[in-house]
Amino acid sequence: MRIDEDLRGRQVSWAALSYVWGGPQLFRTTVSSLASMKTGFAINCLPRTLQDAVTVCKAMSLEYLWVDSLCIIQDDPDDLVQELASMPQIYQRAWVTISASTAASVSDGFLQNRCYSHSSGTCQTRVPISLPYVANDGSTTGKITFVHLSDACSLEEAEPINQRAWTYQERRLSPRLLDFRYNQVVLYCYTDKQCQGEGSNALWSHEDTDSKEEEQLYRPCLNDQSLPAWHGIVNDYANRKLSLPSDKLTALSALADLHKQSTNYTYLAGLWKETLISDLRWSNVTQHLYSRPKEYRAPSWSWASIELDSGGKLYKRPDRNKGCTNSLLYKSDPVDRCEDVVRVLNVTLIQDPPNTTYGKIKAGTLELEALALWTRWKYDESTLFLDSERYVTPLWDAIEHDRIDVHELDGFPVLVVLLGHSRWWRHGCGLILVQASTGVHRRVGSFHDFQYKSSSGIYHGRFLRGFQVQTVTII
């Protein structure tokens, strides 16, 4: 095998590999090794997952395989920037993407026998029964495995690749995805799937691909018109893990670009200018508060500013959220469809490097004109009282890991900002901010309901008592 850099003027088909690194790559292309990699190297030098990918390519008569650790010079910053920008085209134009879904690291491989009795975490399974499959001519060509359907592990528990951030857009960008899962091998394309492992024959299934799980996690996108709604993309992506937390927005950049092509909207750190008020209504609904990244990643008003993928739980919340499993959720309910009562005045982002759209962010500021009210945070209660009669149900986002202890916040002043309300003001939504510096605020939570302790049915005037139109700056 060898690295081939000069494909100009040649029409070739290639497979792209989507896999979990699982740590530093011992066999990789560097500035010093590039010359020898172009000369050639033995297949057995590759880690197991890459060897298995070569085997699959040979079986499909594909001459070329694209692997990021080999096709990008890993210690050359200029090459990294150039090749990362080209990755969407790599996966979009690949003949097929091979998904090493069962491999937790590059050394694990994925061509082991399909494991129908896989157990992971709380998933307990029974031993399957296998019988030889005998063809009409009497030859034994394989086996049939019987396994109880209730023993199947959930996708999130079973396949390590579904926990990784970079692999999400790799799946969605690829015209075909050959998915090597624990209990079956599945070929996904734009409109359907073919699976081997759920029966004695390869089956085409239209009904399965209509499920939300198939639509959001697996099926490739034909073009920008076939993308799911942006909030759905965020819901599926936000909890995935990254080796470098600073890549949170970069690893979603290709799908963001497709969304931009579809809508012609302006991208703002994981949100969109034209739908900004709706996009600001994200909320963390787990039982815990999470830290923000140690290194600045996004302004506090962006969902990308929360370290949901680290498992870094800081403080347990009241039991009112018991049973919530999603760390981040764009809910679809009447509150999210409420009328806006806020106006965006200005949004400023400083990109790194400058004049880019989807890369890293050094700073960001959002300026709103909104109805706002100062009150005080009482942490031990599941409600945030505006006064003795009015309160909201808060969904706290995160506390700055190096700034303040949540247990010291009892009585701490917070600014409640209304984003919208439903008809008759029976429900509302908004942000909860703390002061970062004079005239500048940072988001620490949100609310998707407010209550007024009165049976009179007069909601609007009494609830808004004390709220004033203010210019609110959020960083």
Q: Tens place of pLDDT for every residue, the chain, 475 residues?
A: 899 877 666 788 999 999 999 989 999 999 999 999 999 999 999 999 999 999 999 999 999 999 999 999 999 988 888 887 788 889 999 999 999 999 999 999 999 876 655 444 444 556 667 778 787 887 766 777 676 655 544 444 568 998 899 999 998 889 999 999 887 888 988 777 777 765 434 334 444 444 555 555 566 776 655 677 888 889 888 888 888 888 899 999 988 988 898 899 999 999 999 999 999 999 876 656 677 788 899 999 999 998 875 444 433 444 333 333 445 678 765 454 567 789 999 999 998 878 888 878 999 999 999 999 998 877 666 778 887 777 788 887 876 544 555 556 667 889 999 998 776 666 778 999 999 999 999 998 888 777 665 555 555 567 788 899 999 999 9
Residue type, 315: Y
What's the pLDDT score for residue 394?
A: 83
What's the pLDDT score for residue 83?
A: 83
Contacts of 433 (CB under 8 A, 6+ apart): 414, 415, 416, 417, 441, 442, 443, 444, 472, 474
Q: 195 pairs with which residues across the strands?
A: 186, 203
CA angle 284, 285, 286 (to 5 degrees): 100
Buried b (16+ CB within 10 A) or exposed e, 343-372: ebeebebebeeeeeebbbbeebebebebbb
Please give the C-alpha separations between residue 115 and each of 103, 162, 185, 357, in angstroms, as whole numbers. Answer: 13, 17, 11, 43
What's the pLDDT score for residue 366?
A: 98
β-bridge pairing 64-66 and 14-18: parallel
What's the pLDDT score for residue 378?
A: 73
What's the pLDDT score for residue 197?
A: 60
Q: 391 pairs with which residues across the strands?
A: 385, 451
The two structure tokens encoding residue 308: 């949901």
Q: Would residue 75 be called left, alpha or beta, if left means φ above 0 and alpha means ψ between -120 and 50 degrees?
A: alpha
Q: 98 pairs with which residues across the strands?
A: 17, 178
Residue 64: its H or E element: strand 64-66
What's the pLDDT score for residue 226?
A: 62
pTM: 0.81
Report the distance separating Cα 174 and Cα 446, nearest Å.
36
The two structure tokens encoding residue 97: 């993407």
E-assigned strand segments in 147-192 = 177-180, 185-188
Cβ pair 250, 295 in contact under 8 A: no
What's the pLDDT score for residue 469?
A: 95
